[in-house]
């Protein structure tokens, strides 16, 4: 019983720190936010902050968390395949992931957060694609195709999320999935 109460308290404290940080990012540049500011806003002492996070960078990373992996699992229903529908779902999952950060943050955060989001999504896409191509490719071929396909899928989602294209998510997903699967099939025909 005591452990359960402690876990709930830790979870509530961590959420207070996250909420405090989210409030501060709308008011200050990231570089100017101090641990003391976060702790004070969360109504905890600095030692409590350090019991949960090493620094504000780790707090930011935690906030981004495993949402890339969760988006992929949700949109692919946890099924790992390399086909047009799976690639379509990966693109939709990536679009969903990029629209998730709901922080009202100053424009100075774009350069800080976007690279972290992109890195996490590309890594998760690589993991999925590597598994999906496992039985279809040699390791050398997977090492070639996986990063290319991950970047194509990610770029399609980023184009949509940034508003650089007027197509909706489904149209982006359809075109990217055709590009990936069609390009893959074409390359296999040329090799044989």
Q: Which pLDDT score, from 0 to 100, does residue 4 have? A: 46
- 91 in Cβ contact with 156 (< 8 Å): yes
Ordered structural domains, the chain, with CATH: 2-63 (1.10.357.10), 65-191 (1.10.357)
Instruction: Give the predicted TM-score (pTM) of the model.
Output: 0.73
Q: Which pLDDT score, from 0 to 100, does residue 70 have? A: 87
Please report the DSSP string for 9-53 in residue order. HHHHHHHHHHHHHHHHHTTS-GGG--HHHHHHHHT--HHHHHHH-
Per-residue pLDDT tens, the chain, 192 aa: give them. 445 445 667 789 999 998 999 889 888 888 899 999 999 999 999 999 999 999 998 998 887 766 788 899 999 998 999 999 999 999 999 999 888 655 445 555 556 677 888 888 999 999 999 999 988 778 888 999 999 999 999 999 999 988 888 999 999 999 999 999 998 988 877 664
Maximum Cα interatomic distance, the chain, rounded to a whole number of Å: 65
Tokens at 134, concatenated? 């496992």
Tokens at 109, concatenated? 């955060």
Ranges assigned E (strand) in the chain:
none
């Amino acid at each position: 019983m005591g452990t359960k109460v402690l876990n709930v308290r830790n979870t509530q404290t961590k959420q207070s720190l996250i909420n405090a940080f989210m409030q501060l990012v709308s008011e200050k540049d990231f570089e100017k936010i101090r641990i003391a500011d976060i702790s004070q806003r969360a109504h905890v002492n600095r030692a409590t902050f350090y019991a949960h996070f090493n620094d504000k960078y780790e707090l930011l990373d935690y906030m981004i968390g495993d949402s890339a992996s969760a988006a992929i699992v949700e949109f692919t229903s946890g099924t790992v395949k390399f086909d047009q529908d799976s690639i379509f779902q990966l693109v939709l999952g990536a679009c969903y992931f990029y629209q998730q950060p709901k922080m009202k943050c100053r424009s100075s955060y774009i350069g800080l957060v976007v690279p972290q989001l992109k890195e996490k999504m590309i890594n998760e896409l690589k993991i999925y694609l590597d598994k999906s191509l496992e039985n279809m490719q040699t390791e050398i071929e997977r090492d070639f195709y996986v990063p290319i396909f991950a970047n194509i899928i990610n770029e399609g989602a980023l184009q949509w999320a940034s508003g650089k294209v007027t197509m909706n998510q489904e149209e982006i997903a359809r075109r990217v999935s055709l590009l990936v699967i069609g390009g893959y099939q074409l390359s296999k025909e040329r090799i044989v």
